[in-house]
Amino acid sequence: MKLSFRVFFILLVSLTLIGCNTAGSNSGIMAYKVSDLMDASTNRADSFSGLVVAQQSKEIMKDETKVIKEIYVKEGDPVTAETVLFSYDTEAMALEVDKADIEIERMNNSITANHNEIQSLINERAQVSASQQFQYTLEIQTLEAEIREAEYNIRSKQVERDLLAASVENADVKSEIDGIVQTINDSNQGDFMGNSSNAFMTILQTGNYRVKGHINEMNISQLVVGSPVSIVSRIDSSQVYTGIVESVEMNNPEQSDDYYGMPTNEMVNSSNYPFYVMMDSTDGLFLGQHVYVIPGDVEETPKEGAWIFSHYFVYDDSGSIKVWKVDESKRLQLVEVILGDMDPMTDQYQVLEGLTADDYIVEPFENLEEGTSVTLVEGE
């Protein structure tokens, strides 16, 4: 059976404390509330840290050749498709369009003038001697070359002019999706979810959320695209959702030993691969919420009553099962319990009699005695 990391930690601390006690003294024994131990089972060894993110985000890049005239939204504002986000200053571009029109007109006039000059030279060449006609031919060829060069320059200038005109007409930059303005910046400082971006503005799509997490080379086989997973809220373990692994980005490894500031159950300094979970329902979740992603299914409703791990049991020769429970005076007493169902996923047993979720218990180590005072460990 798998034990949670928290339970393993509890075991380690308790063993250390017991070992450090002098003979005949049991001071410093730590007792834990049953309900806290039940909540700890959610963070199993095969769970992954996750974050609720937008189904889609749209990054809007700033044209560095242009100057922004006005920004019409601020961070946190809701927007719809076609909402004007900001506009560029087009006054300088409009002047460039006019300048290009004048330049094109000048080149067209030079072409017309050269055509007229060529016709005059042709007429004059016909009236001179053969020895003089060669000079006229050279002048005509030079003018024809100038015409071809001017025609090429006109085509290039026309393309430039049309792009400028399009920029003037499209000075307003609009949102392509319904969402919320997440960031507005012109620096590479990242956003509140730890993403670094060169985008001037980022729009998060609203309405649909998904979960982003990271997986390691050592346990990547636990998450297969299309496989079912359960999503459990870190702040309320009764919030349990179901979903499907949508993608695992094997081509996008990230070197990190933490995930959004949270320690993970991955090996330090190993490559972590982002994965995404498509959820069946997102009711009650909010953007940026921290969750656990657990392969397979977990119970959708919290356990009722008291559930404890099997290593808390003490067995006697008569076959009865007991636990070390803390009484009202914060002293140990060994009480018999009656068990019910067993959860094989967490190695927890339901206690029907002898213990409640509000009681405190101690793991059964050697030299424990009834009446020994203990220290109660309050949950988070």
What confidence tens digit (pLDDT) does each residue in 223-244 have?
888 889 989 887 777 788 999 9
Strand 321-326 and strand 314-315: the pairing is: antiparallel
Q: Cβ contacts of residue 372 below 8 Å, gap of 6+?
A: 26, 29, 331, 332
Domain extent listing, the chain:
5-42+302-377, 48-55+210-295, 91-169
Going by pLDDT thresholds of 50, 70 and 90, the confidence category of residue 301 is low
Q: What is the second-level CATH architecture of the domain 91-169?
A: Orthogonal Bundle (1.10)
Residue 197: the pLDDT is 58
pLDDT digits (tens, 9 = 90+) for 309-329: 888 999 888 889 999 999 999
- Over residues 198-219, the mean pLDDT reads 83
Residue 46: the pLDDT is 65
Give the C-alpha separation, 82 to 177, whole Å: 8
Give the C-alpha separation, 365 to 312, whole Å: 9
Burial label, 105 (beta-carbon count in 10 A; 0-12, 13-18, 19+): exposed
Half-sphere exposure of 304 (CA within 13 A, CB side): 2
- Over residues 51-64, the mean pLDDT reads 84
Give the C-alpha separation, 260 to 194, whole Å: 6
pTM: 0.40
Q: Cβ contacts of residue 1 below 8 Å, gap of 6+?
A: 310, 344, 346, 347
**Which of these CATH numbers, 3.40.190.10, 2.40.30.170, 2.60.120.10, 3.90.1150.10, describes 48-55+210-295?**
2.40.30.170
Q: What is the second-level CATH architecture of the domain 5-42+302-377?
A: Beta Barrel (2.40)
Give the C-alpha separation, 59 to 204, whole Å: 9
Residue 269: the pLDDT is 54
Q: Which two tokens stand for residue 257?
A: 């030993």
